[in-house]
């Protein structure tokens, strides 16, 4: 209910997923009457169970407000359905901060995890077409042990979600040697390096912002503040270039003709740089999987988020991730 486009977009997205994946069923959380009407219109009644929830967490609610009004919201109800085992995974287009807080409070952190993270997929020149970056959750601070845990969780995600047997992990930093200076980054680099063999990943060391979409790494580890800035800067750049591209092809009669000729190629390009196609941040480190879709998600985006959720459930990765984190507990974990 909390997405920018309301429940109609969600039901439209579900409709696409349902026709592509005959085996999955959906539990929709929100005002029963409204959802029922939408579901009937799409002829999805036999695939969808509706759980009535009259309240909504809004985009401008602070996470603490969302927690206070908590029960009775569609977001709470969706998380609850994962908590009690009715659902295998929750997908939400709502307020990210609220979703993270509610998920953490209700699902609780995995044993040994101090700070859960949000991992996103980033289009790249990798064979798999995307890299994983975490954390992008805008959290204020990550110390060296948090960054080590992000490396472990990111490696597990890449291995189980994308079949990369021995993922390459990089730690995001700035370029100039002299300034590789934040103490927690140097310490984190040592810690991650020491754990690479045991956790079956390859540590490639520090990487820079321009390496994020490259084939040099599979997983980029950073704190939530820096990750959020990098992600949004890249999104802004992609949007700027899309605008320039549109202008360029509307510029003259010849270029419009060219657009017609190049239609399928342009469409393929557009799909590759379209953030809706790789929609879905995954919360790592909780007892249960939560996929965060963009707030402005449309049917295409929702379907992409559901697809990711399905992949994760089928690979049973959250159990494997839990085992991985538990196997390597940094020395001062319990401080």
Does position 68 interact with a second copy (CB under 8 A)? The reply is no
Burial of 242 (0-12, 13-18, 19+ CB in 10 A): middle
**Number of residues engaging a second copy in binding (CB under 8 A):** 69
Using CB under 8 A, which of 265, 332, 334, 335 touches a second copy?
265
**Cα–Cα nearest to 235, from 281, 169, 302, 266:** 281
Task: Select the residue interacting with a second copy from 272, 316, 319, 327 (CB under 8 A).
Answer: 272
Q: What 3-state class would DSSP assign to 153?
A: helix
Question: Does 231 interact with a second copy (rule: CB under 8 A)?
Answer: yes
Helix, strand, coil content of the chain in percent (nearest 5): 50, 15, 35
Residue 168: partners with Cβ closer than 8 Å, 6 or more residues away: 201, 202, 203, 204, 216, 217, 218, 219
Contact 150, 282 (CB under 8 A): no
Position 332 contacts a second copy (CB under 8 A): no
Q: Closer CB to a second copy, residue 193 or residue 214?
A: 214
| Among residues 8, 27, 44, 229, the one that binds a second copy under rule CB under 8 A | 229
The β-bridge partners of 170 are 205, 220
Among residues 240 and 326, whose Cβ is nearest to a second copy? 240
Verify binding: residue 266, a second copy, rule CB under 8 A.
Answer: yes
Applying CB under 8 A, which part among 31-39, 44-52, 188-196, 226-234 lies near a second copy? 226-234
Residue the block writes with tokens 């520090």: 206
Interacting positions 308-327 with a second copy (CB under 8 A):
none
- Gap between the Cα atoms of 161 and 271, Å rounded: 21
Q: Which is nearer to a second copy, 35 or 212 (CB)?
A: 212
The closest alpha carbon to 271, from 232, 311, 229, 304, belongs to: 304
Regarding 241 and contact with a second copy (CB under 8 A), the answer is yes
Catalog residues that contact a second copy under the rule CB under 8 A: 60, 62-64, 95-97, 123-125, 138-140, 172, 174-179, 181-182, 208-214, 224-226, 228-241, 243-245, 247-249, 251-252, 254-255, 257-262, 264-266, 268-269, 272-273
């Amino acid at each position: 209910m909390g997405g920018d486009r309301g429940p109609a977009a969600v039901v439209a997205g579900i409709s696409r997923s349902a026709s592509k994946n005959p085996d999955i069923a959906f539990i929709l959380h929100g005002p029963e009457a409204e959802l029922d009407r939408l579901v009937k219109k799409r002829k999805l009644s036999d695939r969808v169970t509706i759980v009535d929830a009259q309240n909504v967490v809004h985009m401008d609610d602070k996470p603490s407000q969302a927690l206070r009004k908590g029960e009775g919201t569609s977001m709470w109800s969706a998380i609850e359905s994962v908590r009690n085992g009715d659902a295998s995974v929750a997908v939400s287009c709502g307020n990210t901060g609220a979703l993270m807080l509610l998920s953490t409070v209700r699902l609780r952190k995995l044993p040994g995890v101090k700070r859960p993270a949000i991992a996103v997929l980033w289009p790249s020149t990798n064979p798999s077409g995307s890299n994983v970056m975490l954390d992008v959750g805008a959290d204020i601070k990550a110390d060296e042990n948090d960054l080590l845990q992000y490396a472990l969780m990111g490696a597990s995600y890449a291995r189980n979600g994308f079949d990369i047997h021995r993922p390459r992990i990089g730690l995001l930093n700035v370029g100039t040697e002299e300034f590789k200076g934040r103490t927690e980054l140097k310490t984190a680099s040592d810690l991650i390096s020491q754990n690479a063999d045991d956790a079956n990943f390859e540590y490639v060391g520090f990487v820079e912002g321009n390496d994020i979409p490259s084939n040099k790494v599979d997983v980029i580890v950073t704190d939530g503040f820096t990750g959020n800035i990098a992600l949004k800067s890249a999104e802004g750049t992609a949007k700027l270039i899309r605008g320039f591209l549109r202008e360029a092809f509307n510029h003259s009669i010849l270029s419009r003709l060219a657009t017609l000729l190049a239609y399928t190629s342009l469409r393929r390009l557009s799909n590759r740089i379209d953030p809706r196609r790789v929609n879905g941040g995954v919360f790592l480190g909780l007892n249960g999987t939560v996929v965060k879709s963009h707030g402005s998600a449309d049917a295409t985006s929702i379907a992409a988020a559901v697809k990711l959720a399905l992949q994760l459930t089928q690979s049973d990765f959250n159990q494997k991730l839990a085992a991985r984190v538990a196997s390597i507990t940094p020395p001062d974990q319990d401080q």
